[in-house]
Chain A
Amino acid sequence: MTTPKAERPRRTLSKTATGIEGFDEVTAGGLPKGRPSLVCGAAGCGKTLFAMEFLVRGAVEFGEPGVFIAFEETENDLVDNVASLGFELEDLVSQNLIRLDHIVVDRSDTTEGGEYDLESLFIRLGHAIDSIGAKRIVLDTLETLFGGLNNQAVLRSELRRLFRWLKERGVTAVITAERGDGALTRQGLEEYVSDCVVLLDHRVNDQVSTRRLRIVKYRGSLHGTNEYPFLIDEDGICVMPLTSTSLDHGTSEDRVQTGVPELDQMLGGQGLYRGSSVLLSGTSGTGKSSLASHFAHATCEAGERCLYFAFEESPTQIVRNMRSIGLDLSRHMSAGLLRIVSARPSHYGLELHLATMLKAIKEFAPHSVIIDPITSFIAVGSANDAQAMLVRLVDLLKEREITSYFTSLTQGADTLEATEVGMSSLMDAWLFVRALETNGERNRLIYVLKARGIAHSNQVREFNITSTGIRLTDVYLGPQGVLTGSARVAREAEERIGIAMDILQAEKDKVLSERRRAVIEAQIFVLQAELSADLSDSHHAEQERDGVIQEQSVSREAMAKSRGHLELPANLT
């Protein structure tokens, strides 16, 4: 026999998009098409809403009509409850896109007089599905049946039949169930639903509540196994598929300015890479927000959008404060290039913060994002949670190639670098601003701790906030150590005086040496004059001597002639 197994082509599970934001990404396409899925969780975790959104989005966005079988709420309650989320159920019902059916399970008026099955329920569901050609169905909450019927054995076998029947009908079904102790559902419904089980959870930690979603099981499909935070806001459910599993986001060669020319100079002369994440840490009052505002300003000046999340100041306060250092942010705001979003960190939990930020980022599509400061989040959750959240945020921003600046408030002076080790490894660049207190003044210093892929300066610069913005100056690095502020100015003045003195001295030396040369030259002149005088004297003497000798010989000849003597040979004279 041949092996049909090997020849069978590989089929991929077809899926039905729920339209719930983020959920389809987490499940790589949605719920299994034409099969029942179980959505379970404790009371108030958002099961009904999840199910309802699945139907409404199906009807509105995908043109798939749906049936909502409510065991707990009446049709009117349902309409009212989801109206607050912007779902106009009545319209959809009148357009035959949604059908609501409230099934009352009340054992008080019912007696069991023999063998029965749930065929009436099947007929009811079948009729509802056929009446609008439904592709989707929700059973919320099926377990209510257990409270209404005594014969559990019948009920269980009928539920098994129900799930089989739903599959045969080919409708994509969502069955909600209440979470039980130590089990996913109180009645063990998960054993009937073999394809997909989604668990919703609502936890309160330190008075802050967080909703989470997890895909417990998804047969025949890859799915994220993490707990994904989600939120319920005016647009329904938003699941955040936040942790990208790979680091495969694109990288840019493009550089962006920081808004402080000297800082760009420190960063290889061109500023930062687009899409990089920058940590800007420092103790309080060191000008982190001012520097962040410069980033914002630079982004807007380049005609790009910047989204500024402020967790300590209101937008107007930031605008006012930055005006005092010569930055006009209101101009960018009215031009629609800058948006400042302010929120109290403790206002809601980390996940909700993240979700609202993500939403704002999606809406505004900024080129750069500022979060000022990230340390506020530690006040909301634990340091671990805050870090996990930041990982997701950084990933998100990188995926979108958004340059991001995170300011971080450092607590003590001793642990400056240690406290942020967890976060810094996420960051592509790390700028550090610190205050140095000497001689009764407090001066700010800035340096680049790291900047991936940028030949950055190792220099510490002094950081001045002036009425025309931030200026960086070189600090004085001398044998006495780092000098800043007035000490640096004084030292620089000293140096300037020293140089002037040297110049004077040199000129003096020059004059002196010129004088010495003049004296020597004069002496040389005198000596030369003496020498030439000597030479002419000796010449005269020779001439005189020659004259005398000649005269002597002339007179001797004359005398000899006169005496009549014979001529003497010439060589004797």
Chain B
Amino acid sequence: MSTDKKEIIIESIPTSQSEDESNLMKPEVPLEGHVLRLFVTGTTPRSVRAITNLRSILEEHLPGRYSLEIVDLYQQPELAKQNNLIAAPTLIKSLPDPVRRVIGDMSDEVQVLLGLELIVE
């Protein structure tokens, strides 16, 4: 499989576009490149797996160029409606445009990269 990386346009971007940021986990890397939020449901094995898988993909493909918030929907159930969520876990890439979603435990790396538009088919 091709793993060539896309050019990443790095701009100055706001911390988060969400209004409900008080309880969010702090972004690990400051503010450049991809803005990502991963919605999980507690500490189920699938949630844990999703976090681990996503982190390793991001570290491999976007080291230092992403911000990731991990949201526990059990803690903030109202976010499910606000973000129009159905499945769990759900990853939402809000920047760069367009907004894209990846659902699942992020075990399918190719699909995750396709979803994040880090690779093209």
Contact = CB atoms under 8 A, between A and B. Distances in A.
Interface of A: 101, 103-105, 109-121, 123-124, 126-128, 145, 148-149
Interface residues of B, number: 37
Of residues B49, B86, B99, B115, which shows the largest number of chain A Cβ atoms within 10 Å of its Cβ? B86
Contact of A118 (B77, B87, B108): B87
Contacts of A114: 49-50, 53, 104-108, 111-112
Interface in B64-101: 73-74, 77-78, 80-81, 84-91, 98-101
A124 B85 contact: yes
19 contacts: A111-B101, A111-B111, A113-B91, A113-B107, A116-B46, A117-B87, A118-B88, A119-B73, A119-B88, A120-B39, A120-B86, A120-B90, A121-B87, A124-B81, A124-B85, A127-B77, A127-B81, A128-B81, A145-B86
A111 B54 CA distance: 14
Given A113-B106, A113-B107, A114-B53, A120 B112 contact: no
A444 B68 CA distance: 95
Contacts of A103: 84, 86
B67 to A, nearest CB: 19
Contacts of A127: 77-78, 80-81
B102 A104 contact: no
Given A124-B81, A149-B87, A113 B73 contact: no
Of residues A116, A126, A128, which shows the largest number of chain B Cβ atoms within 10 Å of its Cβ? A116
Contacts of A123: 41, 73-74, 77, 80, 85, 88
B48 interface: no
Nearest to A130: B77
Interface string B19-44: 00000000000000000000101001
Contact of A113 (B74, B81, B85, B111): B111
B62 interface: no
B58 interface: no
A126 B74 CA distance: 10
Contacts of A118: 86-88
Contacts, number: 108
Nearest to B80: A124
A149 B87 CA distance: 9
B10 interface: no
B114 interface: yes
B103 interface: yes
A116 B73 contact: no
A148 B101 contact: no
Given A116-B87, A116-B103, A111 B112 contact: yes
A341 B73 CA distance: 59
A108 to B, nearest CB: 10
A105 B86 contact: yes
Contacts of A149: 86-87
A110 B84 contact: no
A119 B114 contact: no
B41 A120 contact: yes
Contacts of A145: 86
A126 B107 contact: no
Contacts of A112: 102-104, 108, 111
Contacts of B104: 112-116
A115 B73 CA distance: 18
Contact of A111 (B77, B103, B105): B103
A416 B114 CA distance: 81
A512 B35 CA distance: 140
B15 to A, nearest CB: 23
Given A113-B112, A114-B108, 12 more contacts: A103-B84, A105-B86, A111-B103, A112-B104, A112-B108, A114-B106, A116-B87, A119-B44, A120-B80, A126-B77, A127-B77, A148-B86
B81 A117 contact: no
